Amino acid sequence: MTASSAFSFYFIFLVLPVFVVTFFRNRSKLSSLKSNLLTSKLLLNKKTSECSMLSQIYSYTGLSISIDKIIDSVIVSIQKLIDYDLISYVIFEAENKTLKVVSRKPVSVNYFLEVKKNIVSEFAKLTKTPLKEKSLDIKTELLNLPISDTECAIPVSFLNLPFYKDETLVAIINFSSTTANLYKGRKEVDEIADIVNKASLAFSKITTINETTRNPKEFTYMMIHDLRAPLTVINGVADIIKDRKKELTDEKYKEMIWEIKRAVSSMLSIVNDLMDVAKIESGEFQLDKTKTDLRILAEEAVKMHDNLATGKKLVLKLRIPKTPVFAEVDKNMIVRVLSNLFSNAIKFTPKGSVTLELCKKEGLAVFNLTDTGSGISKDDLPKLFNRFKQLQKPNGSYSNGTGLGLVIAKGIIETHGGKIKVTSVLGKGSTFSFTLPAN
């Protein structure tokens, strides 16, 4: 074999295969890198767009934000994408159910009635609760809406855009037209939905900023008040021990030491709650997860509060499935959430029962804790998971404690990948529900 043929043999059978394998391996890596870069770019674009919408709305409204202003900004952004005859919207926040309207041309009263009927239907569908048409007050004179004296065509196509603050429906924006199609195609619908979603997100964030900047003094005062009470006890008991030590019996001396210990424990509880909230808000809250049958935790929580309920002559009920409901959870943290919900339920239930139910639904473990207590007003419901608010008792006084229990409970559940919510009827009771990803 000549040197040249030997080289060819060596190159074809030894070098070339290595080159080919290396090429395709690197090509695969480059393809993966390109895909990751594309994903990162899309995510960056999304975040940039969200920040842009947030900045736009902030510059439009400032921190003195109102739902009317935010909807106005949404309408300005959307109306160029759609061929409408009439824009209407209803705001449900704070019981404001006035149907507000903006029109490009005169419309008839019958046109109005069709729009009203459509919005009422959409509300019922979104909230699964009825809304009577007569509860919507149309104040056309306040908006200088041109009403036609002659009959004109009624709307045949509608586009309803639900507007949320966090997960609460606060408004419905309605576009209507006498033509068959309000928009050209799917692209316009996606753009419109994107604008509304980003505006909702911006509204929620700005509202949170507003609440946070408005309430720190109140929150600080509340914390000082809660810390001062146990400090006063410690100071008073220490003075007695110092000034009257010779007069105290051993039994009285031990009793006072325990009183100091209880006061210190109360202070530590407040400090620990504040630290947990700080960890949750900074994303540093750590969980120690293990595979757990959630029925065991439900039973443990009921036993923990049996004496407290018996003292108020309340009935505790537990409904759990016969088969295990497994989930990867931090057992102590879930018991802590259940304990907080039980304590609140018992505290605000003068008579009747408190029921804990556990079930599995669509891959989720669902806890429902229902009481027959005083209930929560609609105005207070959105404030429950706010660290600047405390629950009020039926007599109007505030409950003892930091008021951070529900804030921490929400943080624990969300760190587990679940959600927590509350439904309530004033005077009839409340249901706190939370979900956890189930195995």
The domain spans of the chain are 1-61, 67-213, 215-282, 290-437
Q: Return the sign of the alpha-carbon dihedral for residues 3, 5, 7, 13.
A: negative
Question: What is the C-alpha to C-alpha distance for residues 46 and 29, in angstroms, rounded to an integer?
Answer: 26
pLDDT for res 18: 52
State which amino acid sits at residue 421. Answer: K
Asked whether 297 and 334 are in contact (CB, 8 A), the reply is yes
What is d(CA 13, CA 4) in angstroms, rounded to the nearest whole number? 14
Q: Which residues of 169-183 are buried (b: 16+ CB within 10 A; e: fewer)?
A: ebbbbbbbbeeeebb
Asked whether the beta carbons of 309 and 354 are under 8 A apart, the reply is yes
Q: Which one is predicted more confidently, 389 or 83?
A: 83
Going by pLDDT thresholds of 50, 70 and 90, the confidence category of residue 279 is confident
Instruction: Identify the CATH assignment for 290-437 out of 3.40.190.100, 3.30.565.10, 3.40.50.970, 3.40.50.2300.
Output: 3.30.565.10
Is the pLDDT at 142 greater than 50? The verdict is: no
CA 213 remoteness from chain centre: 19
Q: What CATH number does the domain located at 67-213 have?
A: 3.30.450
* Residues 93-109: tens digit of each pLDDT: 555 566 676 665 667 77
Rounded to an integer, the average pLDDT of 268-290 is 82
Pair of tokens at residue 183: 């928009």
Q: Is it the case that residue 333 has pLDDT exceeding 90? A: yes
What local confidence, expressed as pLDDT, does residue 328 receive? Answer: 94
pLDDT digit string (tens) for 286-314? 899 999 999 999 999 999 999 999 999 99
Q: Which CATH number fits domain 215-282: 2.40.50.140, 3.40.50.300, 1.10.287.130, 2.60.40.2300?
A: 1.10.287.130
Q: Which one of 24-28, 161-165, 421-425 scores highest in mean pLDDT? A: 421-425
Name beta bridge partners: 369. 356, 432
Average pLDDT over the chain reads 75
What radius of gyration, in Å, describes the C-alpha atoms of the chain? 31
d(CA 78, CA 279): 39
